[in-house]
């Protein structure tokens, strides 16, 4: 019998396919199309203490094999999330991971403290790598010292499993991964978007209102697979891999690089049925290979 259950340190998920933060909102938009409880987990869009309107339009532009987004962490804020969004998610009985972001270290600590112990939240994901806000985000995700200090502070304020999401816009992602592990992260997720830009040649100006945005989709997959491979060699905690996953073969690359779960983002906009298709596809793959669980292929491509 095939078992798709995923074990990521303190987390136990029914399957290893998650909806990535920022691409599934709070699940409501997809609830009429698929059964949310069948997701491995839903990582909600980045949450801040106060509501945010986000960046000026236009905020999304298609690129070859991907897209640029500069949403700017638009979200309803902590109070509305707890009073409106989380109760709705409890109704759907989906595993919920909350992605948190802030302008200051104190913002992260406050969010972690307020969300700890709240029924219906499985874990927290620290958004240290969003390239679309002028304060916070990328500033926290590119320095070993800053990651070490911030993760330690959040760890002290939080009794939930702690996922640290890493940016690919760095020189040595393995070094940053080790810093996150040493300062208290239970799990790492990578990669977030690569910073990019599109110019409107007719208007002779940057297309996005924010000028730059985060590149996602199949175009970044080889970069993401390489970084997951490197990080899995550098740390002893579980890794969630993401970046351009559209097909079962795409997902398998991340598992064979060492990831214990994957998260799907941009593909949800192309085909909202991508995640259930991947879940059934992974099940079929294991059956065809006479394998009983994902454990048998995790890290298979790692060269000793």
Give catalytic residues, as residue numbers: 130
Q: CB 57: neighbour CB atoms within 10 A?
A: 10
Rounded-to-10 torsion of CA 243, 247, 250, 255: 100
Separation of alpha carbons 218 and 242, rounded Å: 10
Separation of alpha carbons 145 and 153, rounded Å: 12
Burial of 145 per CB tally in 10 Å (0-12, 13-18, 19+): exposed
78-83 contact pairs (CB < 8 A, 24+): 78/47, 78/48, 78/49, 78/50, 78/111, 78/114, 78/115, 80/51, 81/26, 81/44, 81/47, 82/114, 82/118
Contacts of 168 (CB under 8 A, 6+ apart): 129, 190, 191, 192, 193, 194, 220, 223, 224, 227, 243
Q: Token pair of 2, please?
A: 């095939």
> Residue 283: helix, strand or coil by DSSP?
helix
Separation of alpha carbons 11 and 122, rounded Å: 8
């Amino acid at each position: 019998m095939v078992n798709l259950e995923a074990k990521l340190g303190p987390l136990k998920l029914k399957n290893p396919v998650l909806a990535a933060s920022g691409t599934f909102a709070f699940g409501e938009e997809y609830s009429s199309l698929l059964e949310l409880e069948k997701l491995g987990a839903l990582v909600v869009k980045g949450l801040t203490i106060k509501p945010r309107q986000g960046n000026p339009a236009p905020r999304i532009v298609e690129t070859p094999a991907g897209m640029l987004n500069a949403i700017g962490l638009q979200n309803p804020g902590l109070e509305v999330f707890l009073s409106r969004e989380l109760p709705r998610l409890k109704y759907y009985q989906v595993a919920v991971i909350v992605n948190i972001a802030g302008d200051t270290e104190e913002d992260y600590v406050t969010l972690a403290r307020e969300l700890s112990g709240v029924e219906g939240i499985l874990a927290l994901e620290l958004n240290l790598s969003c390239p679309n806000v002028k304060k916070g985000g990328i500033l926290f995700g590119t320095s070993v010292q800053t990651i070490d200090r911030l993760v330690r502070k959040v760890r002290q304020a939080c009794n939930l499993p702690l996922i640290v999401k890493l940016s690919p816009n760095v020189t040595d992602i393995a070094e940053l991964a080790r810093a996150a592990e040493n300062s208290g992260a239970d799990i790492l997720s990578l990669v977030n978007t690569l910073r990019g830009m599109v110019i409107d040649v007719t208007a002779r100006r940057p297309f996005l209102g924010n000028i730059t945005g985060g590149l996602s989709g199949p175009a970044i997959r080889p970069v993401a697979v390489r970084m997951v491979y490197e990080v899995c060699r550098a740390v002893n905690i579980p890794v969630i891999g993401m970046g351009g996953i559209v097909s079962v073969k795409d997902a398998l690359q991340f598992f064979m690089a060492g990831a214990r779960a994957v998260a799907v983002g941009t593909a949800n906009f192309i085909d909202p049925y991508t995640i259930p298709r991947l879940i059934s596809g992974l099940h079929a793959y294991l059956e065809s290979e006479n394998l009983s669980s994902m454990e048998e292929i995790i890290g298979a491509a790692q060269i000793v």
